[in-house]
Amino acid sequence: MRVKDQVAVVVGAGQTHGDEIGNGRASSLLLAREGARVLAVDRNLASAQETASLIESEGGEAAALEADITHEAHCREIAAAARERFGRIDILVNNVGVGLGDAEAAEVEERAWRRIIDTNLTGMLLTCKHVLGLMRAQGAGAIVNISSIAAVAAYPLVGYKVSKAAVNALTAQLAITNAEHGVRVNAIMPGLINTPMAIEGIVRQTGMDREELIRRRDARVPLGRRMGTAWDVAHAVLFLAGPEAKFITGAVLPVDGGQSLRVG
CA angle 77, 13, 136 (to 5 degrees): 50
Domain containing residue 57? 7-200+230-256
| 263 pLDDT more than 60 | yes
Can you give the pLDDT at residue 203?
Answer: 86
The C-alpha atoms of residue 49 and residue 52 are separated, in whole angstroms, by 5
- Could you read off the pLDDT of 26-46 as tens digits, one per residue? 999 999 999 999 999 999 999
Cβ neighbours of residue 174 closer than 8 Å, sequence gap 6 or more: 128, 132, 143, 183, 185
pTM, to two decimals? 0.96
- Which residues are annotated as catalytic? 160
Residue 219 lies in a domain: no
Domain membership of residue 134 (yes or no) is yes
Residue 80: pLDDT band (50, 70, 90) is very high
CATH of the domain at 136: 3.40.50.720
Tell whether the model's pLDDT for residue 264 goes beyond 70. no
Average the pLDDT over 204-225 and give the result: 93
Chain mean pLDDT for the chain: 96
Compute the Cα dihedral for 27, 7, 172, 157 and give only its sign: positive
pLDDT at 68 over 90: yes
Q: Say how many domains are in the chain.
A: 1
Does 2 map to a domain? no
Residue 164 covered by a domain? yes
Residue 17 lies in a domain: yes
Give a yes or no: residue 186 inside a domain: yes
> Which pLDDT score is estimated for 256?
97
Task: Tell me the average pLDDT across 188-216.
Answer: 91
> Residue 94 domain-assigned?
yes
For residue 18, the model assigns a pLDDT of 82
pLDDT at 22: 95
Give 2-14 pLDDT, tens digit per residue. Answer: 999 999 999 999 9
Given its phi and psi angles, is residue 5 left (phi above 0), alpha (psi -120 to 50 degrees) or beta? left
More confident residue, 108 or 207: 108
- Tell me what pLDDT residue 95 has: 97
Instruction: Specify whether the CB–CB gap between 143 and 113 falls below 8 A.
Output: no
How confident is the model over 93-147, as pLDDT tens digits? 999 999 989 999 999 999 999 999 999 999 999 999 999 999 999 999 999 999 9
d(CA 72, CA 78): 10
pLDDT above 70 covers a percentage of the chain that reads 99
* pLDDT category of residue 19 using cuts at 50, 70 and 90: confident
pLDDT at 84: 97
In a domain, 87, yes or no: yes
User: Is the four-CA dihedral 206, 22, 122, 263 of positive or negative sign?
Assistant: negative
